[in-house]
Structure 1
């Protein structure tokens, strides 16, 4: 069993890997998983709603022979159809109809228990490594028994750890207070302080933080980053660093999160992102200067 303190600093996001229009074959995703494992990446993020369960099925197929080498966290709470794999395209269309119709998220204990059982079947396990509430905000949890649901899930052995994937500080705070949050996933990006309070809260309680949406500022920074080429060429150890590598390394070093997630469907892209770790040692020295140049 992989412990939370053993999570890799990088993780593979799978929100598009099983979805219509961006679906990866078993061979394609298997290649990504093998390259990740070869580079000591053990963290995989998924959710029941990703590809309406197909992301979880794809993960199962690709890590079945080496399951103990990976830590898979899944999530639930967003409207979802739990139907057989052969109905997958209809599942995803149905999910979109549900969302457009205004079907609310569901964080009741019964729903969460049913969701984790279905996820575990698709993942081919009796107990998930981690199960998280998927994108709840405070008002959506008021009056629910969500924390009791997470407690029941762990008591039943359906997940080793439970937590939340949210940008809402109050949700994280209450989850920690309830004792049912051992892991937090939240949006973190360069030069954005909105996640700092959540990161500080988790650090105070020794709860790991997994960062998502790290590449969100990419498009807005392309031109400015290119304009810093001359200055960066004089920064020892950062001469070849790309913008993507900067964004990943900056979150790891400046925000001090435990892991960074990114999605990929391309081996070259994965190799490039993995190389971000090569810059985490040199970056802190030059980060204040780069922050000023890019601001």
Structure 2
């Protein structure tokens, strides 16, 4: 069993499980039985924070997770999200009070639950004051439909404004060896306010595991084919980072992915990464990283092998980047 950590006042296992890839973004939904078995195995290993969102698989991921946890609800800290919408112009964001309530009711129905443990604003809406969004969220807490509130991919200013309306328990943002922008302003604000940090994609969308050797290894409908860091030219430069990590990992008898994930785990006692997988084998490999000890020298060597300025390409293409970091 892995140890526990605190996200604000919320106690969870030191590593969570991101469920997006079971239904969304990384190829076809191919084996719900294995996905459910993976969630069950995660709970057995002490992984209590199970993360989904209403937009993953257009709601089908919440339904899948709901089935998986139905007979073991008391062992789960269930996190889901609202706010991202898709229309004629691609991905957009909503945060109006009526929509917040609508999304919560819909998620509760799909999950088969009477309350959500941790409810995130998935992105900050550009045209709705965050005070309106968080006022609606605070009402859901008062009604018992939500226990704790979180925010995702938000700026330091948005975090402060949300927290002034109702305490923010957790920030969920991308954080890994090749995505470190939040360290300058966002992490210090979270620590000032006592907000836990939940890094998504702590393995660089799987790239830092070393398992992806070519873009051709990815399914045709995999969203990573459209990300700049997986683009021709950038891919090979980024692969050199993985090779440097592989050499360090071999010295410690672990995989590159375990080393990269352990680096994230060592960012602080208030950090609970949520690597995603739909396979028990990869889950167990990830969980082992939660207790991998790294010395100050180890951490320095890892960062030297994967310097932030060596990463080629932006996180997102322009149409997705516009919704992050507001």
TM range (shorter): 0.7 to 0.9
8 Å Cα contact 1:16/1:51 also seen in 2: no
Distance 1:148-1:7 versus aligned 2 partners, 3 A rule: same
SS at match of 1:132: strand
Q: Give the superposition deviation at 1:263.
A: 1.4
Separation of aligned partners in 1, 2:137 and 2:288? 36
Q: Which residue number corresponds to residue 19 of structure 2?
A: 14
TM value normalised by structure 1: 0.82
Structure 1: tracts of 5 or more residues without a match: 80-94
Structure 2: tracts of 5 or more residues without a match: 1-5, 209-234, 308-326
The reply on whether 1:269 has 2:282 as its aligned counterpart is yes
Distance 1:188-1:230 versus aligned 2 partners, 3 A rule: closer
Q: Which residue number corresponds to residue 64 of structure 1?
A: 70
Find the partner of 2:264 among 235, 243, 251.
Answer: 251
Count of residue pairs brought into register by the alignment: 270
**Paired residues for 1:69-148 under 5 Å:** 69-79=75-85, 95=86, 98=87, 100-102=88-90, 104-136=92-124, 139-142=126-129, 145-148=132-135
8 Å Cα contact 1:222/1:243 also seen in 2: no
Q: CA RMSD in A?
A: 2.5
The reply on whether 1:159 has 2:172 as its aligned counterpart is no
Separation of aligned partners in 2, 1:143 and 1:224? 38
Structure having greater relative contact order (Cα 8 Å, sep ≥ 6): 2
Separation of aligned partners in 1, 2:41 and 2:182? 30
Structure with more of its chain in helix, by fraction: 1
Query: Which contiguous aligned blocks of 4+ residues in structure 1 show a shift greater than 6 angstroms?
Result: none
8 Å Cα contact 1:131/1:159 also seen in 2: yes
Q: Which residue number corresponds to residue 51 of structure 1?
A: 57
The reply on whether 1:40 has 2:27 as its aligned counterpart is no
TM value normalised by structure 2: 0.75
Q: Which residue number corresponds to residue 290 of structure 1?
A: 302
Distance 1:241-1:152 versus aligned 2 partners, 3 A rule: same
